[in-house]
Amino acid sequence: MVEKNFGKIISAICVTLPKDLRYEHRIYLGAVMKLGVKREKIGDILVRENGADILVLNEVAEFLKNNLSQLTRFKSATIEIMDISSIKPKKKEFEDWSVIVSSMRLDNFVAEFAKCSRSKAIQILNEQRVFVNGQLETKFSKKINVGNCITVRGKGKFIVEEMAHKTRSDKWVIKIKKYC
């Protein structure tokens, strides 16, 4: 029932690129934002081998269909509006990571994921770019547990899989799965 209701308010913009082109998620998002569409009107962007499916509110679907092809990157692309029921979900792919943290605090994880200092990680938290299990988190001392999903805007989405062991210097080696 829920999926049927979403089909009435959400459409998919199907972008199919020529054989020699392949873009990342950020290119599609940047193109939509360049056209002046607010982020709140855009859902997931499902990148495929030869293009992407951009989930949007119906109110902006026709606008995007007509205007994406005006952008240089998408001049040769085929752009059409599809019903979301015809979208095939992308199989989740992960990279296995190991990180070493001194404690299970959020700022330690953000510093590892963003490859920066803890003070820079606190700045990223203050910029409201970090989500734990889908909820915005600004408290740098929040304790992270196995199974938590941490998203750092601009850096990726990570799942804390296992506390493997402690090092000789009493730090934790944590196994992470990073969404690709």
Q: What is the CATH number of the domain that holds 67?
A: 3.30.70.330
Question: What's the pTM?
Answer: 0.59
- What is the rounded distance in angstroms from the CA atom of residue 84 to the CA atom of residue 175? 35
27 and 48 housed in the same domain: yes
- Domain for residue 117, yes or no? yes
User: Do the Cβ atoms of 32 and 24 come closer than 8 Å?
Assistant: no
What pLDDT is recorded for position 63? Answer: 93
User: Do the Cβ atoms of 82 and 11 come closer than 8 Å?
Assistant: yes
61 and 132 housed in the same domain: no
- CA angle 64-154-74, nearest 5°? 30
User: Which one of 28, 53, 86 terminates a domain?
Assistant: 86
- What is the rounded distance in angstroms from the CA atom of residue 72 to the CA atom of residue 70? 6
Q: Where would I find the beta strands (DSSP E) of the chain?
A: 10-16, 42-48, 51-57, 78-83, 94-101, 130-132, 135-136, 149-152, 156-166, 172-179
What pLDDT is recorded for position 2? Answer: 41
174 and 136 housed in the same domain: yes
User: Which one of 59, 86, 113 terminates a domain?
Assistant: 86
Q: How much is the CA Rg of the chain, to the nearest whole Å?
A: 19
- What is the rounded distance in angstroms from the CA atom of residue 10 to the CA atom of residue 57? 5
What are the pLDDT tens digits along the chain (180 aa)?
A: 344 454 468 889 999 999 888 888 889 999 999 999 988 888 888 888 889 999 999 899 999 999 998 998 899 899 999 888 877 776 778 889 999 999 999 999 999 999 999 999 999 999 999 999 989 999 999 999 999 999 999 898 999 999 989 999 999 999 999 987
* Domain containing residue 99: 94-179
Q: What total of structural domains would you count in the chain?
A: 2
User: Do the Cβ atoms of 173 and 96 come closer than 8 Å?
Assistant: no
Structure tokens at 99: 């990180």
35 and 112 housed in the same domain: no
What count of Cα atoms within 13 Å lies in the side-chain half-sphere of residue 11? 16
Across the chain, mean pLDDT equals 89
What's the farthest any 2 CA atoms get from each other in the chain?
A: 60
End-to-end Cα spacing for the chain: 31
- What is the rounded distance in angstroms from the CA atom of residue 99 to the CA atom of residue 160? 10
Q: What is the CATH number of the domain that holds 164?
A: 3.10.290.10
